[in-house]
Amino acid sequence: MAVKQDMTVKRRKPSAHNRNGNASQEFQGLSVVPVKRKRRRHTFLRALFRLFLTAVLIFSGAYIWNNWDMLEPENIVYWLNDKLAGGQSGDGFPVEISGSSVLSLTKANDGLALLTDTSLVVLNSKGGELYRRQHGFSNPVMRTEGKRILLADIGGSRMKVETRAGTTIEMTTD
């Protein structure tokens, strides 16, 4: 048995020869046409996909919030440079240091900072050399804080602040 919701009534347009006909002929063109039901396809999969997408957005937002200091543009450029140029390579430890004596060894943000009598050398976690800078001090001392390395000459009047990008500050005191 047909339910009222399953049927609609459509009125046919009168044909060209019946347009001037009487009212009884007008109702002869009525017919019952079943309603096409909209099929809901994969509603469960859509809901699951939306839930997954929402979870990914929430977790990525939380990750960015927690690691905001590591996602600075400078750090991203260094990471890309290391990956593309092979900067993370190295033969591992122990590392041979030729021609210099090590005066100080400290952990820096970029890796392991070695102060020799002639230069500052920073090594990555695999023993690869990230950068080497000549300091020219006669009696050097080194202190690190985050990504900055302070080099000073004990008994002298010069000091430098080094980062991975280069020497940021070089000054002489009187």
pLDDT digits (tens, 9 = 90+) for 139-159: 999 999 988 999 999 988 899
Sketch out the chain's domains with CATH numbers: 4-34 (no CATH), 102-172 (2.40.10.480)
**What distance, in Å, lies between the first and last C-alpha atoms of the chain?**
105
Q: What is the pLDDT of residues 7-25, one digit of tens each?
A: 666 666 655 555 555 555 5
Q: In this predicted model, what pLDDT tens digit does every residue of 100-120 receive, in sequence order?
A: 788 889 998 878 899 988 889
- Indicate yes or no: pTM above 0.85: no
Nearest Cα residue to 112 out of 86, 81, 90: 90
97-111-75 Cα angle (round to 5): 135
Q: Cα separation of 52 and 11, whole Å?
A: 47
Confidence of residue 123 (pLDDT cuts 50, 70, 90): confident
Please state, in angstroms and as integers, the Cα–Cα distance from residue 133 to each residue in 50, 60, 74, 85, following that order: 52, 38, 20, 20
